[in-house]
Amino acid sequence: MSELFWLDVYVLEKLDVTPFTILDAVKEAEKVESGELPTGVKRATPFRRMPLKGLWHKHYFSAGFIPQNLSNAYRIKSDKLIDDILERASQIDDPEQRVKDVGRLLVTEAIERRDADKELTGEWVVFLRRNAENYYLCCGGHKSGDQYLYDRIVDHCPRDFPDILSWINDCRHQLPPA
């Protein structure tokens, strides 16, 4: 693990992301090599476009990502799903219980469904997979910007892994074209 990775974990902890959620993603990325199935968070996948091509990312999940996961859950099937929830809720006579059940149906069941489908998303642990070893470089996310993440890796990770740039280049040639 690079010092940049540990710095990111520290900064994220100050922003209320529990370090254990990030380290759980690392443990899961390591287990995949041994054939174990992942938790409900998306599997590690390679970046396919430059400049991050050759690197991988593994999502980690934290409570702060619930709104995005709910948005993703309802993006495609929203009308039918919400109609079903409202129909089920309308059969409850007690208004207070109805509100509780609508919340449970809208939030809890949607998150549980994404967990069961292994579709929970969050931000990323960025790493290089080389010779059956994972080199954890930094944390990033959907809004970080690929060039920004790449520049951080290029600027900071050679201190820990002097050959990182040639390793990334080697790994780029091992992936099929985007």
All structural domains of the chain, each given as residue ranges with its CATH number in brackets, are 3-62+123-172 (3.30.2310), 67-116 (no CATH)
Q: Which residues have a Cβ under 8 Å from the Cβ of 27 and sit 6 or more positions away? A: none
Q: How many other C-beta atoms can be found within 10 angstroms of the C-beta atom of residue 36?
A: 11
**96-141 per-position pLDDT tens digit:** 887 887 777 777 777 777 667 766 666 889 999 999 899 999 999 8
| Secondary structure letter of residue 174 according to DSSP | T
Q: What is the pLDDT of residue 69?
A: 58
Q: What is the pLDDT of residue 176?
A: 56
Among candidate residues 18, 38, 15, the one with its CA nearest the CA of residue 120: 38
Name the percent of the chain in helix, strand, coil, to the closest 5. Answer: 55, 15, 30
The one-letter amino acid at 65:
F
